[in-house]
Amino acid sequence: KSEQNDPIIEKLSDKLQEVFGYSEFRHGQQPVMLSALSGRDTLVLMPTGGGKSLCYQLPALCSEGLTVVVSPLLSLMQDQVEALQAMGIAAATLHSGLTSQQSLTTLQQLQQQQIKVLYVSPERALQPNFIERLQEYQLSLIAIDEAHCISQWGHDFRPEYGQLGRLRQYLSAVPFMALTATADAATQHDIIERLGLDNPHCHRSSFDRPNIRYVVQEKYKPLKQIKDYVKKQQGSAGIIYCGSRKKTEEIAESLQQAGVRAAPYHAGLEHNLKETTLRQFLRDDVDVVVATIAFGMGINKPNIRFVVHFDIPRSIESYYQETGRAGRDGLPAEALMLFDPRDAQWIQRMIDEQDNEHRRLIEKQKFSAMQAMAEAQTCRRLVLLNYFNEFSDKECGNCDLCLDPPQRFDALKDAQKALSCVFRVGQQFGIAHVVEVLRGSKNQRVLELKHDQLSTYGIGQDESHEYWFSVLRQLIHRGFIVQDIRRFAALQLTEEARAILRGEVELELAKPRTNLTATRTSITD
Ligand code: ADP
Ligand code: ZN
């Protein structure tokens, strides 16, 4: 092969073998390394487990001078440094967690050019006297790991990361490499701009994680759903993400009571407790961690078999990043999301209340993409990949919709029944009540309100509770009904509902799925 003649490529391949013991580059690694070695800025998007670290570690060994790696997590830095040292590579860290003696030793070694790869925290990287030192050294590369933290629009913005552009200003002659596993187009753009990357070589690996099965279920009895789900997993490792600290504790407790080895994790817990939980999880002494988004970055546990989203995340980036922690070993894993349109409305409302208009707009776009994925009626993986600009029309065969496609049916008549019922109850009541009236329930509230005297009372008695629930939710998804979250999620007809009521249009809905609704007994919301 002609490329064997290129001395740089030869050197990279040799070191890959000799030092790391790998026989081949993974997709994208070699071009990225060549870009860095040629002095060009580089943006690397590779999924978790794709082999990002090697992209800067290997070039570090093939060039003169020091490679500086900025990383947001102390534990991650420590792991990487130890791994490099074990391979005989001169690596070190500088961060606030070290004693002054440790820092001093490292600084001396740097001075004497004894270090090849230096990991630093962003705080340290931005200290003026540290930047001054760096200016004196011969630098081969500055790598910014977890680069999405730079972007305000990303899912894990860190203010000190946002400042890293300053480093660039002082070290304009050194090539930069920004690496991340998750960034949509807006975030990528932001990374390039904020870091001041100059015409960077961009490597984008496929975002597809074929071993992860994506599943969305309607959230109707969330605690029971979670318990049933976790029990079915029979002790495999998993993470359950939820939107509040309180919920993590409640869910963990109820799982514990059900005999599951579960523990909560959130930023408000004591440091030692968090460390213990993490260690137990890594050692398989705890099976399920119920966490806020504080749990995750840098968790290097290959055998996580499931990730559950108890609440819908704010963006596909977050969803992708969090679900991506499952199945790093390449074996089958599952990502389950529990979806309730009311949660979505709450989030929308919170976004709408933002003052910063630009931010509001971006967050709105990001969230509406997330919502579209949750409400998708065709392959979820296509929606996901499409969001990251990977276009395909081949359905994946490994998501709930591919495996169990919803049947469609002519739903005009039923939609008319449901919409008229919403209208007859004065557009003042939520889904559950409308369903009661449709099905001719004799519950006390229905009778008290005299809703048993409405023309729509009982017109849907041939169909089940679940059936109507699903029809109404689909009518919400499709924009014929909105839920007024200021008034107990009362259902209200939209302008579009008229054409349905007049029978002027056709309407197909997905046949309610029995497997999702089988365990639903009574709905109280
Ligand atoms: P990322 O940071 O992208 O999540 P890592 O850099 O931690 O991924 O790499 C994931 C795993 O893949 C590591 O165990 C790493 O040693 C391994 N790896 C990386 N590159 C190669 C390669 N070319 N051949 C074989 N294994 C590799
Ligand atoms: Zn699919």
Residues whose CB is less than 8 angstroms from the CB of residue 359 and which lie 6 or more positions away in sequence, other chains included: 152, 153
For ligand 1, atom 10, name the residue with the nearest CA.
49
Closest ligand to Cα 392: 2
Residue 41 near residue 177, CB atoms below 8 Å? yes
For ligand 1, say whether the CB of 203 is within 6 Å of any of its atoms. no
Measured in degrees and rounded to the nearest 5, phi and psi for residue 235 equal 80, 5
Q: SS3 helix, strand, coil % of the chain, rounded to 5?
A: 45, 15, 40
**Within 13 A of 291's CA, how many CA atoms are on the CB side?**
20
Mean pLDDT on 97-107: 92
For ligand 1, say whether the CB of 15 is within 6 Å of any of its atoms. no
Q: Is 3 exposed, middle or buried (0-12, 13-18, 19+ CB in 10 A)?
A: exposed
Distance (Å) of CA 355 to CA 16, 187, 313, 347: 51, 21, 21, 15
Strand partners for 491 = 483
**Side chain identity at residue 85, one-letter code:** Q
The span from the first CA to the last CA of the chain, in angstroms, equals: 67
**Rounded distance between C-alpha atoms, residue 80 and residue 67, angstroms:** 14
The neighbour count for residue 62, using CB atoms within 10 Å, is 16
**Rounded distance between C-alpha atoms, residue 69 and residue 36, angstroms:** 13
The neighbour count for residue 320, using CB atoms within 10 Å, is 27
The answer on pLDDT for 524 being more than 60 is: no
pLDDT value of residue 1 = 45
pLDDT value of residue 521 = 32
What is the widest separation between alpha-carbon atoms in the chain?
90
Closest ligand to Cα 52: 1
The answer on pLDDT for 520 being more than 80 is: no
**Rounded distance between C-alpha atoms, residue 511 and residue 71, angstroms:** 48
**Rounded distance between C-alpha atoms, residue 219 and residue 222, angstroms:** 6
Ligand 1 centroid from CA 295, angstroms = 22
For ligand 1, say whether the CB of 54 is within 6 Å of any of its atoms. yes
Ligand 2 centroid from CA 399, angstroms = 4
Q: Which atom of ligand 1 is nearest to the CA of 23?
A: 24
For ligand 1, say whether the CB of 124 is within 6 Å of any of its atoms. no
pLDDT value of residue 205 = 92
Mean pLDDT on 242-259: 96
For ligand 1, say whether the CB of 25 is within 6 Å of any of its atoms. yes
**Rounded distance between C-alpha atoms, residue 378 and residue 396, angstroms:** 10
For ligand 1, atom 20, name the residue with the nearest CA.
51
Give me 380's structure tokens. Answer: 């979820």
For ligand 1, say whether the CB of 46 is within 6 Å of any of its atoms. yes
**Side chain identity at residue 1, one-letter code:** K
More confident residue, 489 or 230: 230
The per-residue pLDDT for range 265-323, each reduced to its tens digit, is 999 999 999 999 999 999 999 999 999 998 887 687 999 999 999 999 999 999 999 99
Closest ligand to Cα 26: 1
For ligand 1, say whether the CB of 139 is within 6 Å of any of its atoms. no
Mean pLDDT on 408-427: 96
Express as a percent the part of the chain with pLDDT over 70: 96
For ligand 1, say whether the CB of 298 is within 6 Å of any of its atoms. no
Supply the Cα-derived Rg of the chain in whole angstroms: 27
Residue 255 near residue 262, CB atoms below 8 Å? yes
**Side chain identity at residue 259, one-letter code:** G
**Side chain identity at residue 519, one-letter code:** T
Ligand 1 centroid from CA 176, angstroms = 20
Question: Nearest CA to 460 among 415, 426, 522, 417?
Answer: 417
Q: Which residue has 């015409």 as its token pair?
A: 199
pTM above 0.90, yes or no: no
The answer on pLDDT for 513 being more than 90 is: no
**Side chain identity at residue 296, one-letter code:** G
HEC secondary structure over 69-119: EECCCHHHHHHHHHHHHHCCCCEEEECCCCCHHHHHHHHHHHHCCCCCEEE
Residue of 15, 45, 53, 205 to mutate, ligand 1, most atoms within 8 A of C-beta: 53
Residue of 54, 87, 177, 209 to mutate, ligand 1, most atoms within 8 A of C-beta: 54
Distance (Å) of CA 156 to CA 245, 264, 294, 472, 507: 17, 20, 10, 35, 41
For ligand 1, atom 16, name the residue with the nearest CA.
51
For ligand 1, say whether the CB of 51 is within 6 Å of any of its atoms. yes
Task: Return the C-alpha torsion angle 356, 358, 361, 364, nearest 10.
Answer: -60
Ligand 1 centroid from CA 69, angstroms = 16
Closest ligand to Cα 386: 2
Q: What is the ipTM of this complex?
A: 0.98
Rounded (5°) CA angle 324-328-332: 90
Rounded (5°) CA angle 207-376-512: 140
Q: Which atom of ligand 1 is nearest to the CA of 25?
A: 23
Ligand 2 centroid from CA 334, angstroms = 13
Confidence of residue 488 (pLDDT cuts 50, 70, 90): confident
Mean pLDDT estimate for the chain? 91
For ligand 1, say whether the CB of 49 is within 6 Å of any of its atoms. yes
Residue 27 near residue 207, CB atoms below 8 Å? no
The neighbour count for residue 355, using CB atoms within 10 Å, is 6
HEC secondary structure over 365-406: HHHHHHHHHHCCCCCHHHHHHHHCCCCCCCCCCCEHHHHCCC
For ligand 1, say whether the CB of 28 is within 6 Å of any of its atoms. no
For ligand 1, atom 26, name the residue with the nearest CA.
22
